[in-house]
């Protein structure tokens, strides 16, 4: 797995220019499979982001251990002992339940800076709109400093911005009302609601900060954001090599279940990568790899450790040649790119699942 750090920094700058506001890089789930310590330290060194967001306390601790000094927002609910750990490691808690206030104070976090999360329609985490003012006032009374007010949008990736009654607009309207009401309690609090899709498609959602994950890594397709399409580059390249070449005669099958049978003399490339590495088994019968700069169909079932490509029509393939499962491949026959969205479509997954699904046994190399 090769991670293009320049692409990440360029993407971050391009998104910040488009948004015209501060950028919080979402690096939860090991930076969507890209490797959170490597990604966060590179973005911080480049001065490309304002802060980072994770889901778990453990993820925030990992960033601190890697030397990250920027603000780190812990968006998920803390497990037992998590409030004390956040205080000890200077992590910023997101309060999504009034009970979090008592846990923070009990952990000696008086004076800590917190963000309040309001549920405006996602229906998962968050303080009810009607309770937000009371929770904010209680936080202040307990000695906690409310420095952020946030919500999470459920439908920004599917709603039409031109449809004024869609859920995204309703959520943004509710958030505007509640943040206005909280100004007396938290006058300087930073407001943030936009994920990647909202940042691209709903300019009024950008507020004081945008929380961007998918777009930061060069994934996602937003036809409306012509300004951003050109500079956004996919940062992940998933690569293996041809381990063996095998000749298969017509009528012979390949792989578990004999799902593919040769109809002509076929040259097969054995690739030492499978679903245990993050090549989804469901690409069976649909997927391809790039060898020598040309797409080659994957044949037979993708197994735990092995995939097979048909390289009959690619002249000069040799053992050791690079085989690109995801990203750009260049060779004597040209250049092609397999996007995360394309691999997701082949496998019936989302782009999030594709990048997060690359397993820990695949080394991350930062370029």
- pLDDT tens string 268-301: 999 999 999 999 999 999 999 999 999 999 999 9
How confident is the model at residue 232, as a pLDDT? Answer: 76
How confident is the model at residue 80, as a pLDDT? Answer: 81
Q: What is the mean pLDDT of the chain?
A: 94
Instruction: Return the axis-axis angle of helices 132-141 and 99-106, rounded to nearest 10°.
Output: 10
Report which of 335, 339, 334 is spatially closest to residue 229, judged by C-alpha positions.
339
Report which of 338, 343, 312 is spatially closest to residue 323, judged by C-alpha positions.
338
How confident is the model at residue 110, as a pLDDT? Answer: 81
CATH architecture of 2-217: Alpha-Beta Barrel (3.20)
* Residue 231: pLDDT over 90: no
> Domain segments of the chain: what residues?
2-217, 236-366
The mean per-residue pLDDT over the stretch 242-261 comes to 97
Mark out the alpha helices in the chain (DSSP H runs): 5-19, 28-32, 36-45, 57-65, 82-88, 99-106, 132-141, 167-181, 196-201, 226-229, 340-347, 351-356
* Residue 223: pLDDT over 90: no
How confident is the model at residue 230, as a pLDDT? Answer: 42
Task: Between 360 and 222, name the one with better pLDDT.
Answer: 360
| DSSP 8-state class, residue 204 | G
User: What does the pLDDT look like over 336-360, one tens digit per residue?
Assistant: 999 999 999 999 999 999 999 999 9
The mean per-residue pLDDT over the stretch 110-116 comes to 92
- Distances, alpha carbon 29 to alpha carbons 68, 120, 324, 360, 362, in Å: 17, 24, 23, 12, 16
Catalytic residues: 28, 256
Contact 83, 115 (CB under 8 A): no
CA–CA separation, 114 and 23 (whole Å): 18
How confident is the model at residue 226, as a pLDDT? Answer: 45
Contact 120, 151 (CB under 8 A): yes
| DSSP 8-state class, residue 364 | P
Annotation: CATH topology of 236-366: Lyase, Ornithine Decarboxylase; Chain A, domain 1 (2.40.37)
Q: What percent of the chain has pLDDT over 90?
A: 93
How confident is the model at residue 109, as a pLDDT? Answer: 79
* Residue 221: pLDDT over 70: no
- Distances, alpha carbon 20 to alpha carbons 23, 172, 199, 207, 356, in Å: 9, 18, 10, 9, 29
Give the confidence band of 222 by pLDDT, cuts at 50, 70, 90: low
* Residue 235: pLDDT over 80: yes
CA–CA separation, 38 and 99 (whole Å): 34
Tokens of 45: 């060194």
CB atoms within 10 A of CB 279: 30
Letter string b/e over residues 302-315, b meaning 16 or more CB atoms within 10 A of that residue's CB: bbeebbbbbbbebe
């Amino acid at each position: 797995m090769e991670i293009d750090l320049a692409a990440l920094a360029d993407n971050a700058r391009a998104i910040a220019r488009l948004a015209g506001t501060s950028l919080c890089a979402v690096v939860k789930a090991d930076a969507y499979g890209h490797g959170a310590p490597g990604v966060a330290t590179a973005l911080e060194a480049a001065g490309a982001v304002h802060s980072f967001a994770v889901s778990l306390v453990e993820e925030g601790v990992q960033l601190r251990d890697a030397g990250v000094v920027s603000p780190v927002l812990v968006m998920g609910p803390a497990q037992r002992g998590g409030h004390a750990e956040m205080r000890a490691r200077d992590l910023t808690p997101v309060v999504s339940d009034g009970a979090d206030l008592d846990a923070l104070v009990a952990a000696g976090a008086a004076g800590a800076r917190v963000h309040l999360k309001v549920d405006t329609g996602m229906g998962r985490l968050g303080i009810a709109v009607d309770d937000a003012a009371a929770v904010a006032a209680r936080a202040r009374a307990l000695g906690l400093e409310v420095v952020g007010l946030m919500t999470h949008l459920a439908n920004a990736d599917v709603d039409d911005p031109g449809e004024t009654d869609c859920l995204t607009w309703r959520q943004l309207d509710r958030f505007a009302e509640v943040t206005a009401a909280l100004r007396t309690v938290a006058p300087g609090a930073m407001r943030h609601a936009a994920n990647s899709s909202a940042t691209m498609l709903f300019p009024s959602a950008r507020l004081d900060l945008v929380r961007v994950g998918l777009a930061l890594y060069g994934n996602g397709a937003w036809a409306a954001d012509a300004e951003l399409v050109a500079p956004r580059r996919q940062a992940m390249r998933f690569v293996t090599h041809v381990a063996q070449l095998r000749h298969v005669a017509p009528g012979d099958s390949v792989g578990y279940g004999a799902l593919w049978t040769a109809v002509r003399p076929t040259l097969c490339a054995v690739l030492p990568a499978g679903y245990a590495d993050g090549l989804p088994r469901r690409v069976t019968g649909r997927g391809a790899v790039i060898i020598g700069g040309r797409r080659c169909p994957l044949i037979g079932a993708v197994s735990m450790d092995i995939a097979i490509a048909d390289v009959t029509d690619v002249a000069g393939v040799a053992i050791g040649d690079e085989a690109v499962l995801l990203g750009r491949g260049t060779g004597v026959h040209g250049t092609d790119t397999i996007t995360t969205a394309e691999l997701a479509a082949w496998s019936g997954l989302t782009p999030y699942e594709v990048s997060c699904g690359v397993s820990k046994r695949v080394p991350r190399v930062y370029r």
